[in-house]
Structure 1
């Protein structure tokens, strides 16, 4: 019997135990790859820090409720590029998006279950809620500068005491090349979604996370895994965080039960300093990097996340870009080796032009 892409990852693992766990949705004994359990076995971790089984309820884009959403068509036959491209210091563009609303919803981890999650701060698509699907997000109203970016971005809400603190204005969301051969990067498939980080991670695990960049910072305080005890009380000082997402895709699934296993971080090519996608996840996609800033400073002892301490930070991405626009931005800015603003314009290379017009639309 020929296996569908949806079941391929289970078959590749090659044990009846794993197939049984994923097939019937029973409780797993571990919830994250950090526990030493293969990601395909790990049950999804909910955003309150409790352990949960893979979903067995049909909801949203997951018609049969098994946690796997297949890519149609799948992307197969890709070999990770280990080539060395022409030198280009930058290969990125910005998708600047503002906060739209907050809600205790998570359409990836808790699809269709309103109020099930801890509180999240949503950016980009204005309609994101527990019932969001690819169809409901695609073409929707957005707080991103490019109207074609109807993607949903969200993270745990930040509080100081009982006051919810929201980032003000457009936040920088980079789309970069995570692999050395930036020419091999292709656009996200429509409907791809994933979670970056783990609300249950320890401070040490957060620091060791492959997406960790500079941790929490404010003023002259950098590389903090938890919130600094204090930040300079000046109008120009905000609390900042940068965190990068995995950028290598298995080509088979738009989501998996743990919301991570279909994605992977690049690996180092043996004998070099070059990054390339692993054979298990051969498709190079843009690397998303959150660069968030919260208007809070002074005494930070009461600052917390809805998910807990500072090192519980994580975020979610649900792709709903209009395909032609995303491809044009990826091809011009990432594959083209440029440092682009949200219009796809590199001020250091004005002769290369811009992708979008003054209204941030594809001509």
Structure 2
């Protein structure tokens, strides 16, 4: 999607809500309370945003995240949800790794790393946002993507996990399912879009996916209907993470065979293993009220905080390991072959 389409959205008063907001970094560490609850550390490194109730366990029986959190790194103060993805690294020709920094999106300058989060009732191309959706419930959580996938055939299972090679900070098209093959002048945007049809019963499932489904036909953007097995239409949740790869754009830094040099923290050089985790933590009925209101970016039903306040919220690292500077191996011990 081009930046002028986003700009057009701002000129139209939506019939209902499209939330687009920034969240600063909460913590970067090797924890995954959804897939590996209680494991300290988890197998690979994640970057996490949202409420400060984030911890190593966070089982569903532990109670409402929103009641346990004291602050959030997100713009809306009633959103104590946690959102996370893997971490991007650059692999040098000598086989060492360096973590790629994250930068804020346009309009969220000053934010410390983090991501841009969307909750949409219709695809971005539908400026009116007319569809009604049911907000997620307390205790809801989900996962999209599979960290172990390494082929396009596998990744086709997830229709809307993509990358944008940023020519500038306004680039939104084209998107690819694997890592860009050429240097990207303004960085790489990793896009994660979650399924939008819920079974209406289960707040989670053993694989953290089965209680959710894509539309029966088409996609969320095309207004496809939900299948009978998953009849409840929920907001499309979307993450945009901008990785500042620009300092690695010198061709002399790239592998001699011309392959791309970036790798996810689970040792994925293809990009097909991209994934996103979500734990709902909006306070009371604040998300449903927002989705029923004429909101765009700023929302009259929600309280907002300054970027300075967002940046103040954090949690201490509980995993004692170094992941800054040049590393001989990815956090968790994964090593690549010496180039």
TM-score (norm 1): 0.62
Which residue, out of 42, 49, 72, partners 1:116?
42
Instruction: Tell me the distance in 1 between the aligned counterparts of 2:164 and 2:178.
Output: 7
Change in CA separation of 1:263 and 1:296 when aligned onto 2, cut-off 3 Å: same
2:120 maps to 1:176: yes
Superposed CA deviations along residues 94-125 of structure 1, whole A, max 9, x for unmatched, are 24212211111111111111113311111112
Superposed CA deviations along residues 23-68 of structure 1, whole A, max 9, x for unmatched, are xxxxxxxxxxxxxxxxxxxxxxxxxxxxxxxxxxxxxxxxxxxxxx
2:66 maps to 1:138: yes
2:292 maps to 1:331: yes
2:265 maps to 1:306: yes
CA deviation after TM superposition for structure 1 residue 177, in Å: 2.1
Say whether the 8 Å CA contact 1:123–1:143 is kept in structure 2: yes
Say whether the 8 Å CA contact 1:199–1:312 is kept in structure 2: yes
CA deviation after TM superposition for structure 1 residue 178, in Å: 5.1
Which residue, out of 94, 98, 101, partners 2:24?
98
Say whether the 8 Å CA contact 1:105–1:119 is kept in structure 2: yes
Could you say which residue in structure 2 is the equivalent of 1:158?
88
CA deviation after TM superposition for structure 1 residue 203, in Å: 3.4
Could you say which residue in structure 2 is the equivalent of 1:225?
177
Say whether the 8 Å CA contact 2:145–2:158 is kept in structure 1: no
1:1-363 equivalence runs, <5 A: 91-133=17-59, 135=63, 137-139=65-67, 140=69, 141-161=71-91, 162-168=97-103, 169=111, 171-177=115-121, 182-205=130-153, 208-212=156-160, 214-219=162-167, 222-233=174-185, 237-268=186-217, 274-297=223-246, 298-299=249-250, 301-307=260-266, 308-309=268-269, 310-333=271-294, 340-341=296-297, 343-344=298-299, 354-357=300-303, 359=305
Could you say which residue in structure 2 is the equivalent of 1:53?
none
Change in CA separation of 1:102 and 1:303 when aligned onto 2, cut-off 3 Å: same
Change in CA separation of 1:117 and 1:130 when aligned onto 2, cut-off 3 Å: farther
SS at match of 1:122: strand
SS at match of 1:144: coil
Say whether the 8 Å CA contact 1:99–1:167 is kept in structure 2: no
Instruction: Tell me the distance in 2 between the aligned counterparts of 1:274 and 1:185.
Output: 12
Structure number with greater CO (CA < 8 Å, separation at least 6) is: 2
CA deviation after TM superposition for structure 1 residue 157, in Å: 1.0
Could you say which residue in structure 2 is the equivalent of 1:80?
none
Instruction: Tell me the distance in 2 between the aligned counterparts of 1:120 and 1:357.
Output: 28
Could you say which residue in structure 1 is the equivalent of 2:310?
none
SS at match of 1:243: strand
CA deviation after TM superposition for structure 1 residue 175, in Å: 0.4
Could you say which residue in structure 1 is the equivalent of 2:9?
none
Q: What is the RMSD of the two structures over their aligned residues, measured on CA atoms?
A: 2.8
SS at match of 1:275: coil
Deviates more, 1:320-329 or 1:221-230: 221-230
Superposed CA deviations along residues 119-148 of structure 1, whole A, max 9, x for unmatched, are 111111234232224537324121001111
Instruction: Tell me the distance in 2 between the aligned counterparts of 1:184 and 1:199.
Output: 32
Say whether the 8 Å CA contact 2:77–2:303 is kept in structure 1: no
Unmatched segments (≥5 aa) in structure 2 = 1-13, 92-96, 104-110, 255-259, 307-339
Unmatched segments (≥5 aa) in structure 1 = 1-87, 345-353
SS at match of 2:192: strand
Deviates more, 1:302-311 or 1:146-155: 302-311
TM-score (norm 2): 0.66
CA deviation after TM superposition for structure 1 residue 215, in Å: 2.7
Say whether the 8 Å CA contact 2:141–2:208 is kept in structure 1: yes
Instruction: Tell me the distance in 2 between the aligned counterparts of 1:208 and 1:90.
Output: 31
Say whether the 8 Å CA contact 1:213–1:242 is kept in structure 2: yes
